[in-house]
């Protein structure tokens, strides 16, 4: 074994050492795939629906919640600042996709809800989005996709354990 090499451990094929940087190369491959998929989804959302991925994500959060969310809730769920959410909401209000109303218990708090038009629009976008993901993953057989899913679950647990963040999704 080369000097300074660390013997292979769980997750490494027999004969590999950490010197081969398989962990780093895997991370870069995963990041590249993520960036490629995200770029294609962004392009398709823009071309087919005239909407940004950020606005689509905000609509998805509202749809998932089923009821209105406060601006603070949206900021936390989307992991962005209140200022970022405000700009997204302003645009979606202008397009008639969401409403912004004061919370009856605290008029300083704004509650954001999908309008009926917003719900219909998001449903169309969501169906297209699911189709696009299926298309982008079409080159991977079902068995390989299942294995990838399982292995990513292991990675997620490992990262959560190492980072001490827990695994809440």
Torsion of CA 45, 62, 36, 164, to 10 degrees: 170
pLDDT in tens, 67-89: 899 999 999 999 998 888 999 99
**What domains are there in the chain, each with its CATH number?**
52-133 (1.10.10.10)
d(CA 123, CA 128): 9
pLDDT tens, residue by residue, 103-117: 888 888 899 999 999
Give the pLDDT confidence score for residue 17 in this predicted structure: 64
Q: Per mean pLDDT, which range of 18-22, 32-36, 140-144 is the poorest?
A: 18-22
What is the arithmetic mean of pLDDT over 12-25? 72
Amino acid 108: pLDDT: 87
Which one-letter DSSP state was computed for residue 112? E
What is the chain's mean pLDDT, rounded?
89
CB-based contact 110:118 (threshold 8 Å)? no
Token pair 């451990």 is at which residue?
A: 9
Long-range contacts for 39-46 (Cβ within 8 Å, ≥24 apart)? 40/132, 40/136, 41/129, 41/132, 41/133, 44/128, 44/132, 45/125, 45/129
pTM comes to 0.80
Q: Left if phi > 0, otherwise alpha if psi is -120 to 50, otherwise beta: which for 66?
A: left
- How many whole angstroms separate alpha carbon 141 and alpha carbon 115? 39
């Amino acid at each position: 074994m080369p000097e300074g090499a660390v013997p292979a451990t769980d997750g490494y094929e027999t004969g590999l050492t950490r010197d081969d940087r398989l962990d780093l190369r895997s991370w870069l491959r995963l990041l590249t795939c993520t960036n490629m998929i995200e770029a294609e989804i962004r392009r398709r959302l823009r071309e087919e629906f005239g909407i940004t991925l950020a606005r689509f994500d905000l609509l998805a959060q509202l749809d998932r919640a089923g009821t209105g969310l406060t601006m603070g809730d949206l900021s936390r769920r989307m992991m962005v600042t209140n200022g970022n959410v405000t700009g997204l909401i302003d645009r979606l209000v202008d397009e008639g996709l969401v409403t912004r109303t004061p919370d009856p218990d605290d008029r300083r708090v704004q509650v954001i809800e999908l309008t009926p038009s917003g719900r219909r629009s998001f449903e169309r976008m969501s169906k297209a989005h699911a189709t696009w993901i299926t298309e982008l993953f079409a080159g991977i057989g079902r068995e390989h996709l299942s294995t990838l899913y399982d292995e990513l679950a292991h990675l997620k647990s490992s990262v959560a354990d190492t980072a001490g963040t827990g695994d809440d999704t």
